[in-house]
Homo-oligomer: A and B are copies of this chain.
Amino acid sequence: MANLWEFTLRTGEQGCYNITQSVKDAIKESGVESGIAVVFCPHTTAGITITENHDPDVCEDVLLGFDRAFPDTPDFKHTQGNSFAHLRSSAMGCSVTIIVDEGWPLLGVWQAIYFCEFDGPRTREYYVKVLGDQMQVPFDDDDLDEEETAGLEEEPLA
């Protein structure tokens, strides 16, 4: 059980897509009460960010700010003409890591997780991986002897 989910998203030309609910769903399905979750975008012209969830103007302003900080310019060498999108993806980052507490993402009240499209429209994927804390009580193992315990110290268990 890898606690790994893949989601698909159909995007417009440019935009921020609130994917928080899908992350909550993945955490719930995982059964993990305490741990972390990694949200990862496998594309190089899109990103993942956390920003305000209340006023949709914030997302538009964030995209406008990225447009201005990282504009398209004629001297980019990449012939596909979308270096500005690669640049914004690299600057924003393609993943976020959040804390899972009591089976829930530990986000601030105004925070949501967004998939940011910089070069759409496209069909996009993103992954959610949920990792629980170290197991606390592994299982009943009345038959475990000393020698086996020592062996475990030398070798990774994976």
Contacts and interface: CB of A to CB of B under 8 A. Distances in A.
Q: How many monomers of this chain does the complex have?
A: 3
Interface in A73-126: 73, 75-80, 83-84, 86-87, 89-99, 101, 106-111
B33 A61 contact: no
A137 B3 CA distance: 15
Contacts of A70: 65, 69
Contact of A131 (B35, B41, B51, B73): B35
A103 to B, nearest CB: 9
Nearest to A40: B99
A87 B106 contact: no
Contact of A87 (B30, B38, B61, B133): B61
Contacts of A96: 93-95
Contact of A1 (B43, B50, B86, B136): B136
Interface of A: 1-4, 30-36, 38, 40-44, 49-52, 55, 57-58, 60-62, 64-66, 68-70, 73, 75-80, 83-84, 86-87, 89-99, 101, 106-111, 127, 129, 131-145, 148-149, 152-158
A20 B127 CA distance: 19
A139 B152 CA distance: 8
B133 A152 contact: no
A44 B34 contact: no
Given A58-B86, A132-B134, A156 B78 contact: no
